[in-house]
Structure 1
Amino acid sequence: MYSKVKILKETQPQLLKKKNLTLLLKYITGLILLGLLLIFLLFLLVYSDVFGKLPNKENLTAIINEEASLIYSSDTIIVGKIFAENRTNVKLEQIPKHLKEALIATEDKRFYTHNGYDGQSYARVFFRSILMRDASGGGGSTITQQLIKNLYGRQYHGFLSMPINKIKELIIASRMETLYSKDEILLLYLNSVPFGENNFGVESAANRFFNKSVNELKVEESAVLVGMLKANTFYNPRINPKNAKKRRNTVLQLMNNEAYLGNQTTDSLQKLPITLYYKNLDTNTSAGYFSYQIKKKTTEIIKTINETTNSNYNLETDGLKIYTTLNYGIQKMAEKAAKEQLVIKQKQLDKELQSNILKNRWLKDQEFTAKDKQERSLKLFDWDSTKTITGNTIDSLWHYSKMLNTSVLITNPKNGAIISWVGGNNFTTLPFDMVLSHRQIASAFKPFLYATALEKGISPCDYFENEEKTYKEYENWKPENADHSSTPDKKVALWYALIQSMNIPSVNLYFKLEKEWLTKSCEKLKFPEIIDNAPSIALGTLDLSLFETTRAYGAFANDGEMNDLYMVSKITDKEGNIIYESKESKTEKVFTKESSQTVTAILQQAVEQGTSSKIRSTFKIKSPLASKTGTAQNYTNAWFMAYTPNIVLGTWVGTSKNTIHFNSGNGSGSSLALPIIANILKEIEKDPKLKEQYLTSFNIPEEISSSIKCTAYREKGIKGFFNRLFKKKKE
């Protein structure tokens, strides 16, 4: 009896435990069945479009990835992109085998065997990632499902967002697998996957990080890009090189696991450093200002095409190809010359500004708040590098206020094609385009005054007073020559006054002309309207842009005919069909051929013995050249213009505002601006093809050349009269 009771007492807890376990199993089973039922119901609701309409067969077969439009230079270099998403699509045959293998080994090793979703992956996620809380369990999405996410994104549905979006992707992926081959899905994926930095598609990524097309990628480079897909910022090889290398080696090992790579190859590739050739056209392009202008211009062109042909081209998404007039080689020369000159000149200006007088005067003209005076870490663009300093808003404003800026514009006067466009120091930091900025033109205006005089019958050997005079009717205005010299006892020949850029004879020439003559010339040259035609205009007080000035000098280079400037040669669709082609512009007759050739002959002498002589003496430029300097009052703006029959080169240098400037000859056109053009010309001379194309000789008739062969000065009065009389008799 005792033993029975004892056995009963011992078995009751076991029976109870077994009963509880059975109840628990029934409870868990019920929950699982309920969960499966809820998932099934949720699946039916998603399938029935309750949570948003799913793409049907027609939608899926019409998938076309958005593609960036590319901007090409005339020498077929990509200099910019226009995009909503920075994407350049490639064809299947351009995808290297090792890139496909890296992607499949890393993201979806059963890609070629499943139907858009992978049951084994879902089971792994459920047991390892969810039940066992193993973070290394991985995700359950196939490449097809990831493609769906890239194409359609994910919507917010509250706490049900994740299951609803996963079910959507599963359904759409299944539909897609019936419409596309595996390789087509792979291609769609590689053309749409994001790589960070507003960069979409493997072709854009290959260009960004390795400066090459996808078909040129090496195995280890493909592994870097595939590795970025897990977290494109954390594994960005530029930002986080250590993370990127570790992830790359993981991808290489996964390729080895799937027998895509042998052990020896894997080991050797894993030891290699990551070598980048980073090229971001958004921020580091050597033609950022030009590309921005191209975007503005092509937007207008595409709008016109769509309106007139009932088309629907989209500049940001249709992968158009924009062929421009820019010569990339000369563009690089221009940027290099500008940078080298301004690095030197900025140091000189900073030295002049060491005195606090100008800075204190500048501070008085500003209005600052208490917040502006708070110190913080600042990133400032400088010519040597982008530097980080500890300072406040005032320091930042002073830094940029005293910074020298430059713009360079180079054109072909025969047709108006823009060869090079440097709009400023750095497009990302300082996007305001100085090519279009209006600044006092200074003496660079004088050739237009002199050309107008020649048009009205004044000879280059006519003589003008070179004696200082006060003009009471113009508020006691007293013009002076730049070197403060004058010759009260001598007059100066018109040609010599121009090559030496004399102010006093230029003013006297102005008074000899009818005011409307000069106004009419300016209208033909498409200069801004002259509101106050005061005599100071003869010295270049008119505000002109480098764009307007360079275009106008093209008239001298082209025998009096001025072309409108243009930058777009043609536009094609992604298949190469031409949808736009520039037409030959109608030239504007500004000056007669004789007047233009006479001005050119004079400006050639400016190179040999005038204000531009440094081009020969210092920089040893040997090519035929006509040129003119320009220095605004107080050295606020420096200009230099030069040309041959086939090229016009113009540059402007100055600070953002006229209040800060050189106080010495370091700020003159010949010292500040001329070296930029001189160094560009030096590089062009080194290139036989460019030299032959652009640095061509002038074809000035002998009678024109002879028309400026008279003495520079002529004595006034009786002495001068007899000297001329006896000289004639002697001749």
Structure 2
Amino acid sequence: MIKKILQKKWVKWFFFLLVGFVFLGSCFYASIYFGFWGKLPNKEQLSSLKQSEATQVLDKNGRMIGKYYIYDRQPITYEDLPKHLIDALIATEDIRFYDHDGVDNTSLLRVFFKTILLRDKSSGGGSTITLQLAKNLFGRKKYPVFSTVINKLKESFIAKRIEDIYSKKEILTLYFNTVPFSDNTYGIESAAQKFFNKTTQQLTLSQAATLIGTLKANHSFNPRLFPERSQLRRDVVLQQMVKYNYISTSRSNQTMSQPIRLDYQHFNHDLGLAPYFREEVKKELVNILEKYKKEDSTTYDIYKDGLIVYTTIDHKIQSMAEEALKEHMVVLQKEYEKSFGNDAPWKNNSDLVKNTIKNLTTYTLYKEQGLTESQIEDSLSIKKDMELFEWKGNITKKASSLDSIRHYLKFLNAGMIAIEPTTGAVQAYLGGIDYRYFKYDHVSQSERQVGSTFKPFVYTAAIENGMKPCTYFSTKEITYTNLGNWTPKNSSKEEDSHLNFTLEKALSTSVNTIAVKVLNEVGIPKVVEQVRKLGIKTKLSEEPAMALGTDGIKLNELAGAYASYVNNGKAVKPYYISKIEDKKGNLIASFEPQIAEKPAYSEYTKQVLLEMMKSTVKNGTAARLRTSYNLQNEIAGKTGTTQDNKDGWFVGITPNLVTVTWVGNDNYNIGFKTTTLGQGANTALPIFAKLYQKMNLDSTFDSITKSKFEETPKNILNDLDCKPEKRDNFLKRIFGKKRKNKKFGKAT
């Protein structure tokens, strides 16, 4: 009977087809094994797995403030993995993990019969943790045919080789270090820090189950985007743990009753803490690493080599500074816009808008294409959905490029740097109001006119060259005939032809006419020489108006110069990086403070200037620190306001922290409407004040907030002990020479 059946033609054909199918299948299988579809990693390659690792940027206390990466990955060891995290993974992804050799044949049979034949989607998949690891390590490629089958078979070969080389603990460690989580995050440590601001060791059962739950579908179960869906998935993980006796039902129920609470950390470059600082550190890091080589003589890659960068910044001070800036700028921006009303230049000044358009890359491209001005304007007037920055919360609306220009022209920007005066270590760094929309860094890039914050350098040169602190100068305006009849004016009501101020009174109340007179008497060359000793390298105009701060100086340079007044006369160069280590903790480079070798002036000059700037806070232009903000800290300082109220400045000096703040419009054609609104005491000083209010409430900063200036010697107090102002006597007022103009000393 069987012989007759075998002799039938269709049986022979079936037999030949079956043999042929098996033969072709074997060839196909062999072609994958022997690398026809791409070479498989051998045991040697698998034994030395290398993955791109994110460079970590840490604050002075070792707290992470950011990363540089292509893939956000941060490796850890098996000992860092809490048991409930491992249990959650195995219960959810691979319950027979400890029993199979990389491929779970039992699961594959279940998939074939239940999922494929019976269409039961609830039966689960056949992928193991080791198979997933193979996919995580080597990815998948697209092939002209049978892509899924080829990739699955390749992964099975790799998985079995991994199992031959590594222990189960090592496989789990590799898996947790490479598995992708939500928001382009690779590895459990990066995910724990991003979503919960914790290390992996600190993850609770709920947090661990939440992250394991996202592995099924990173986007769909992203706890940031879909909290309710993520919580349901977390509960499935907990139920799986109960099913396989990893946790009790009561513990599961208790955990499921808790909502997911994220403490999300933005480690992408545009968001998170100190984005301007991180960008500046990155620039320095790239330059530094050009001088160093790895053991294999290749250069370091900040995006792949898992470096650890220790910076000088203080996470808490930076956070407080950012809060202070935002609190103040929200109010100031509102007042700023209100002051212009319907006459705002960004609304009515067509020339301003047109000139701004010409700075656009898009405009240049259109010009190169031969478009006319009207055609370019038409193209830039096309509306589309656009997200626009607003302090009260970003808005999305239909807007054109022209609308966007007008919108952003209205915004005030700000910058701030706070440094340790004895070393130059930067404690806080704010380059602007929002890095996403305002990339220009006002700490290290911008050179804005510094206004009256330059005056202390003039007075320093005067005292250093023998001028007595109680020297009196008239507040009277003078026209300098050899300077095109230039007449420096005071912004305050100090104009009185017979009123005379001491240097202390003149500086603390920021009298322009006297600053120019002091410069004239000391001489421009000596002032320039003094400024250079203070570490300021910016080119100076070397003109009389220099006394009023008409030159542009960077915030970081200004901070380094002012540090000298509480650093024995020595200027410092602000620095950001203290040391760099490789991923194993080996030191690559370390950095020491850059402090001037010699004092820029005498101890006497330092003490005199410090007393003058204390007066600025006590009863001068910065008095609102005491009256409005009720700060009782020991503070010296200087306000600054530039011509036409374009820039507002404040430099705050305390014994252990020097802070420089600036506020203005990025477009230099737009100033404040009034001096009352635009003066540094109103624009820049409040950021400093609010920062110190916050720091005063935190005992962590007692070394800064409760620090005291060194006691001023009696001889200096005696030299400053004179009436701050005096009027000309009766005879001088009646018969004194009425000089309406004067020549300014030559800058030789």
1:110-129 maps to which residues of 2 (within 5 A)? Answer: 110-129=96-115
Partner of 2:316: 329
**Aligned CA distance change for structure 1 residues 23 and 259 (closer, same or farther; 3 Å):** farther
Do residues 343 (structure 1) and 330 (structure 2) align?
A: yes
Shift in Å, 1:180: 0.5
**Aligned CA distance change for structure 1 residues 163 and 36 (closer, same or farther; 3 Å):** farther
**One of 538, 554, 565 as aligned partner of 2:563:** 554
Give me the whole-angstrom Cα distance separating, in 1, the residues matched to 2:348 and 2:524. 39
Give me the whole-angstrom Cα distance separating, in 1, the residues matched to 2:625 and 2:42. 70
Q: Considering only CA atoms, is the larger Rg found in Structure 1 or Structure 2?
A: 1
Partner of 2:742: none
Shift in Å, 1:321: 2.5
Do residues 652 (structure 1) and 662 (structure 2) align?
A: yes
Partner of 1:726: none
Give me the whole-angstrom Cα distance separating, in 2, the residues matched to 1:604 and 1:689. 25
Query: Quick check: 1:362–1:659 contact (8 Å CA) kept in 2?
Result: no
Q: Structure 2: 5+ residue runs without aligned partners?
A: 358-376, 736-748
Please identify, of 665-674 and 426-435, the stretch whose mean Cα deviation from structure 2 is larger.
426-435
1:567-606 maps to which residues of 2 (within 5 A)? Answer: 567-588=576-597, 589-606=599-616
**One of 669, 679, 684 as aligned partner of 2:690:** 679
Give me the whole-angstrom Cα distance separating, in 1, the residues matched to 2:474 and 2:498. 9
Amino acid at match of 2:328: Q
Amino acid at match of 1:258: Y
Query: Quick check: 2:541–2:551 contact (8 Å CA) kept in 1?
Result: no
Partner SS, residue 569 of structure 1: strand
Partner of 1:275: 261
Partner SS, residue 430 of structure 1: coil
Amino acid at match of 2:499: K
**One of 454, 467, 477 as aligned partner of 1:445:** 454
Amino acid at match of 2:308: K
Query: Quick check: 1:624–1:698 contact (8 Å CA) kept in 2?
Result: no
Give me the whole-angstrom Cα distance separating, in 2, the residues matched to 1:24 and 1:396. 76
Partner SS, residue 222 of structure 2: coil
Please identify, of 274-283 and 559-568, the stretch whose mean Cα deviation from structure 2 is larger.
274-283
Residues 617-638 of structure 1 show CA distances to partners (whole Å, capped at 9, x for unaligned) of 2222222221100011222111
Do residues 454 (structure 1) and 466 (structure 2) align?
A: no
**Aligned CA distance change for structure 1 residues 481 and 265 (closer, same or farther; 3 Å):** same
Shift in Å, 1:187: 1.1
Shift in Å, 1:348: 0.7
Q: Structure 1: 5+ residue runs without aligned partners?
A: 1-17, 724-731
Do residues 691 (structure 1) and 695 (structure 2) align?
A: no
Please identify, of 373-382 and 140-149, the stretch whose mean Cα deviation from structure 2 is larger.
373-382
Amino acid at match of 2:628: T
Query: Quick check: 2:570–2:595 contact (8 Å CA) kept in 1?
Result: no
**Aligned CA distance change for structure 1 residues 649 and 149 (closer, same or farther; 3 Å):** same
Partner SS, residue 366 of structure 1: helix
Partner of 2:717: 705
Please identify, of 571-580 and 414-423, the stretch whose mean Cα deviation from structure 2 is larger.
571-580
**One of 644, 647, 653 as aligned partner of 1:643:** 653
Partner of 1:218: 204
Residues 168-195 of structure 1 show CA distances to partners (whole Å, capped at 9, x for unaligned) of 1111111111110112111101110111
Partner SS, residue 557 of structure 2: helix
Please identify, of 428-437 and 622-631, the stretch whose mean Cα deviation from structure 2 is larger.
428-437
**Aligned CA distance change for structure 1 residues 616 and 531 (closer, same or farther; 3 Å):** closer
**One of 155, 160, 163 as aligned partner of 1:177:** 163
Query: Quick check: 1:636–1:667 contact (8 Å CA) kept in 2?
Result: yes
Amino acid at match of 1:678: A
Partner of 1:505: 514
Please identify, of 426-435 and 598-607, the stretch whose mean Cα deviation from structure 2 is larger.
426-435
Residues 408-427 of structure 1 show CA distances to partners (whole Å, capped at 9, x for unaligned) of 21111111111111222223
Please identify, of 265-274 and 432-441, the stretch whose mean Cα deviation from structure 2 is larger.
265-274
Shift in Å, 1:372: 3.0
Shift in Å, 1:359: 2.9
**Aligned CA distance change for structure 1 residues 28 and 69 (closer, same or farther; 3 Å):** farther
**Aligned CA distance change for structure 1 residues 172 and 721 (closer, same or farther; 3 Å):** same
Amino acid at match of 1:682: Q
Give me the whole-angstrom Cα distance separating, in 2, the residues matched to 1:34 and 1:487. 111
Give me the whole-angstrom Cα distance separating, in 1, the residues matched to 2:74 and 2:320. 28
1:471-490 maps to which residues of 2 (within 5 A)? Answer: 471-490=480-499
Partner of 1:406: 414
Give me the whole-angstrom Cα distance separating, in 1, the residues matched to 2:139 and 2:488. 70
Amino acid at match of 1:625: I
**Aligned CA distance change for structure 1 residues 110 and 31 (closer, same or farther; 3 Å):** farther
Give me the whole-angstrom Cα distance separating, in 1, the residues matched to 2:604 and 2:301. 48
Shift in Å, 1:502: 0.5
Partner of 1:609: 619
Give me the whole-angstrom Cα distance separating, in 2, the residues matched to 1:457 and 1:658. 38
Give me the whole-angstrom Cα distance separating, in 2, the residues matched to 1:448 and 1:27. 101
Residues 390-414 of structure 1 show CA distances to partners (whole Å, capped at 9, x for unaligned) of 4333333223221122222111111
Give me the whole-angstrom Cα distance separating, in 2, the residues matched to 1:586 and 1:307. 30
Query: Quick check: 1:559–1:597 contact (8 Å CA) kept in 2?
Result: no
Partner of 2:426: 418
Query: Quick check: 2:387–2:394 contact (8 Å CA) kept in 1?
Result: yes
Partner of 1:54: 40
**One of 207, 210, 213 as aligned partner of 1:227:** 213
Partner of 1:245: 231
Query: Quick check: 1:42–1:164 contact (8 Å CA) kept in 2?
Result: no
Amino acid at match of 1:679: K
**Aligned CA distance change for structure 1 residues 271 and 517 (closer, same or farther; 3 Å):** same
Residues 467-522 of structure 1 show CA distances to partners (whole Å, capped at 9, x for unaligned) of 22333433332211012542212333222211110111111222223322222223
Partner of 1:4: none
Query: Quick check: 2:644–2:671 contact (8 Å CA) kept in 1?
Result: yes
Residues 672-723 of structure 1 show CA distances to partners (whole Å, capped at 9, x for unaligned) of 1111111222333334452334532233222222222222334447735999
Amino acid at match of 2:199: S
Partner SS, residue 191 of structure 1: helix
Partner SS, residue 184 of structure 1: helix
**Aligned CA distance change for structure 1 residues 524 and 308 (closer, same or farther; 3 Å):** farther
Do residues 719 (structure 1) and 728 (structure 2) align?
A: no
Give me the whole-angstrom Cα distance separating, in 2, the residues matched to 1:557 and 1:398. 44
Do residues 158 (structure 1) and 144 (structure 2) align?
A: yes
Partner of 1:535: 544
Residues 640-692 of structure 1 show CA distances to partners (whole Å, capped at 9, x for unaligned) of 00112322111111121123332121221111111111122233333445233
**One of 625, 634, 644 as aligned partner of 2:644:** 634
Shift in Å, 1:528: 4.3
Percent identical: 35
Query: Quick check: 1:644–1:698 contact (8 Å CA) kept in 2?
Result: no
Give me the whole-angstrom Cα distance separating, in 2, the residues matched to 1:587 and 1:500. 30
Give me the whole-angstrom Cα distance separating, in 2, the residues matched to 1:675 and 1:366. 31
Give me the whole-angstrom Cα distance separating, in 2, the residues matched to 1:269 and 1:595. 66
Please, what is the CA RMSD of the aligned residues? 2.9
Give me the whole-angstrom Cα distance separating, in 1, the residues matched to 2:701 and 2:205. 39
Query: Quick check: 2:534–2:570 contact (8 Å CA) kept in 1?
Result: no
Give me the whole-angstrom Cα distance separating, in 2, the residues matched to 1:90 and 1:308. 22
**Aligned CA distance change for structure 1 residues 162 and 307 (closer, same or farther; 3 Å):** closer
Partner of 1:299: 286
Partner of 2:741: none
Give me the whole-angstrom Cα distance separating, in 2, the residues matched to 1:27 and 1:405. 82
Shift in Å, 1:268: 4.2
Give me the whole-angstrom Cα distance separating, in 1, the residues matched to 2:263 and 2:293. 38
Partner of 2:533: 524
